[in-house]
Structure formats: C-alpha cells, structure tokens
Structure 1
Amino acid sequence: MHILLDLDGTLTDPKVGILTSLQHALKELGEPVPHIDELDWCIGPPLKDALLTMFGEKQPEKVNEGVRHFRERFGDVGLFENEVYPEIPEILTAMRKDGHVLHIATSKPEVFAQRILDHFKLTSHFTSINGSELDGTRGDKGELIAHILATQSIASDDAVMIGDRKHDIIGAGKNAVTGIGVLWGYGSQEELEIAGAKMCADSPRNLLQCLQVIC
C-alpha cells in the first residue's frame, strides 16, 4: 500500500514556527497581531487561504505581501521551530517494515518540506516528497494528491491519505483515496469524520492498528 502522509500536525508540530512567522507578517502589514493560540486554525490550510480568510479576496495585494513577509522569517528561522511528534520515527520504520511505500503530501511549499525532513533526518523514509510550488500551485490537497497518484503511478485503491485536518481527508475523497485522520494534530475528530475519514487514530501506535484494519 502507498501511504501519503501530511507533514504539519501529523509528523511534526509546527505551531511555533508557522504562527510566530504569521505574527511577524501581520505586524509588518500594520495589522492587529492576535495571541499565538488564537491562530491555531491557520495550521493546515495553505497560507494564502488563511490570509484570504483574514483579509478577503478584495485585498489580493495585502495577501501577497503577507505571504512575502511570512516567508522572510519562516525561511530562515521558523522552518526549524518545529518538533517531531513522539514515536513518529518508529512508526515510519514500522510502516516500511510492513511493506508500505511512504510519500509526503503537504500543502507546504515542497522546498520547505524537503529542508524540514532533512533537518529531522526523516527523508530516508519516503519514496517521494510532494508539496506546493512557491506560487501556490498544488496548494489544494485534492490537486496535490492527484499529482502524486499520476507521477508515482499509484492506483486510488492502493493508497491511503493520513492527516490531521479536513483538507487532507477531503482531498483524499476527491481522488477516491481512503482517508485516515490523526487526533494529535490540529483537527478534531468531529472535523475529520465530517470530512469523510474512514478511521481516526488517537496515537501513532493506534495509527498502525488502523492501517492493519484498512490494508
């Protein structure tokens, strides 16, 4: 089975790096800067989508400026203000021993995802690392999963998408791929089940059990 794994909120906890960089962007734009805990909802969707929610489609220049200011900090500092969740390296090893082929599927720009995985020495677990382009191409999870299936020659019924937010599960559904939600990230069980998750795992070890049932 081909296992597609989200990065933020699934393999690593990116809260400090992403949200501190977002606070930096808001400050540079002269906007009110909420407390970091009030910005949790911004973890998961593409950055541009979060800024569009804040500013609306009538302010595209502000959205683009926000992305630029975010990357000023994130590309140098925020990228590594990140933490691998407990047991993640062990379960990635276990998945591979069970014969699964692993792929990263993140809406984060691919260039950033590659650097994060290299930094935490996780790269070797994955056959492919897939993310968006810096211009936002493939930021939508459905488009990204379709891209992975096509470029890696994977049949929909031979793939599982694992993630912590509804975007992961909805994207999987658009491609007839089974979605499994994880509950240690930033989405609730209700959010994931409404989006169509086949199962939800409350711990990395439980995720292995879910895979044994589905696969």
Structure 2
Amino acid sequence: MATIFFDLDGTLIDSIEGITRCVVHAFERLGEPVPGEHELRGWIGPPLRDSFAPKLGDPARVERAVEFYRERFETDGWREHAVYAGIGDTVAALAADGHRLAVVTAKNEPHARRIVEHLPFGGHFEDVIGATPCGRLSHKPELIGEALARLGLAADACWMIGDRHMDIHGARHHGMPSVGVLWGFGGEAELREAGATHLAESPAGLRALFATAAC
C-alpha cells in the first residue's frame, strides 16, 4: 500500500470564497487597489508571500498583507469553502483499502489543521503538514520533505495528489509519482506541462487508479 499526500485547496475543498475574500480584505486594509476576480484566483495554490510580493514590492507591506489576510481567515475565511462532491467517499475508501493518508498544503498549518478537523472525513488523515506562519516552510518541495521526515517515509513509497503545478513540481523534486486532479484550479494543460504521472477527472477515479497502480 502507498502513503498518499493530498493537497487541500482545490483538491479536497473548493476554497475560492474564503481565500479571495481574505485577499480582498488585505488589500482594502492596506488601502491598495483590489485585483480583479480572475487575478484573485491566482492566490489559490502558491504561498501567500509569493502572491502578494509582485503586487506590493516592499517586504514590510507584504508581511502586513499576510497579517491582514490571516486576520480575516482566522475568524471567517477558514470555514468559507465547499467540499468537492465525492471526495469524502474516496478518502474513506482509500483509507479502508489500507493506504496511509496525509494532507500536505501551502496553507498555514494551524488553519489547515482546523479545516481538516472539521471535515466529515478528516479523521482519515494521519497528519496535516502545512506552511509555518513565518514562511520558513511554504513551498511544496519543502513541505513534502517535512512530511516525509515527520512520517519517517521514503519518497518512492508515496504519492502526491493536487490540482496545481506546484503540487506536481514538489512531487517531482523528490522523485515521487503524482496525480493531477481536474476538478480544482489548475486545469489539464497546467498539470500535463508540470509532468503529472496521472490525471484524475473525478474523485471516484482516484480509488480505481490506486487499485491498479504499483503501490
């Protein structure tokens, strides 16, 4: 059996509402123009500092933006999401099949833990590995490395499942196979270009994939 790392935003939950509302809050608190709706979608996936830096430039203002974002996320944003249809059944089925499951996300770890703990299927995850508030750990290669160390695993015994190129690049950095999911925010072209080992069109396809993959 494999150990399977799941991304959170765009893979387990549709979090566009919570993330974009918190980004808008941060720009408003800073007195900066709010990006358009299409641009706001770009905040889903990358570390917060990577997204704010090109718009704000000054590192001190970037840190203020992150603080304002988390200010709203702490009270409201963490629960502003929807669970993707069928993903809970798939997670439960993979756990029943004997796979070890964990969440590996660029979201702030305390926030990610709170979200996962409130998911109806969250108890199937052995651990939640997320970004450190200070940003020391924030990119997928580092986060996957932390997950491997924390769980005492070799990369060739694990898979990464995610919806963005960052998830796939993180897996490739460690020589780990990956599954790009097509119900999130990245899209097929992005995931293919990143080098995903497999693509999944729906959560139901994940169980079938792991039933036949060499695990």
TM more than 0.5: yes
Q: How does 1:137-156 map to 2 (within 5 A)?
A: 137-156=136-155
Question: Partners of 2:169 and 2:36 in 1: how far apart?
Answer: 29
SS of residue matched to 2:153: coil
Give yes or no for contact 1:114–1:123 (8 Å, CA) kept in 2. Answer: no
Give yes or no for contact 2:162–2:180 (8 Å, CA) kept in 1. Answer: yes
TM-score by length of 2: 0.95
Partner in structure 2 of residue 75 of structure 1:
74
Identity over the aligned pairs, expressed in percent?
A: 41
**Which amino acid is 1:139 matched to?**
S
How far did residue 211 of structure 1 move? 2.2
SS of residue matched to 1:169: helix
Question: 1:94-133: CA deviations, max 9, x gaps?
Answer: 1011110001100111100111112223331111111111
Partner in structure 2 of residue 136 of structure 1:
135
Question: Partners of 1:151 and 1:72 in 2: how far apart?
Answer: 29
Partner in structure 1 of residue 204 of structure 2:
205
How far did residue 90 of structure 1 move? 0.3
1:92 aligns with 2:128: no
How far did residue 55 of structure 1 move? 2.4
Partner in structure 2 of residue 103 of structure 1:
102
**Which amino acid is 2:19 matched to?**
I
**Which amino acid is 1:187 matched to?**
G
1:30 aligns with 2:31: yes
Runs of 4+ with deviation above 6 angstroms: none
Partner in structure 1 of residue 19 of structure 2:
18
What stretches of structure 1 of length at least 5 have no aligned partner? none
1:167 aligns with 2:150: no
Question: Partners of 2:69 and 2:112 in 1: how far apart?
Answer: 16
TM-score by length of 1: 0.95
Question: Partners of 1:119 and 1:128 in 2: how far apart?
Answer: 14
**Which amino acid is 1:20 matched to?**
R
Partner in structure 2 of residue 45 of structure 1:
46
Question: Partners of 1:132 and 1:12 in 2: how far apart?
Answer: 17
Question: 1:31-80: CA deviations, max 9, x gaps?
Answer: 11134343111100011111013223xx1011011001111111100110
**Which amino acid is 1:196 matched to?**
G
Give yes or no for contact 1:9–1:164 (8 Å, CA) kept in 2. Answer: yes
What stretches of structure 2 of length at least 5 have no aligned partner? none
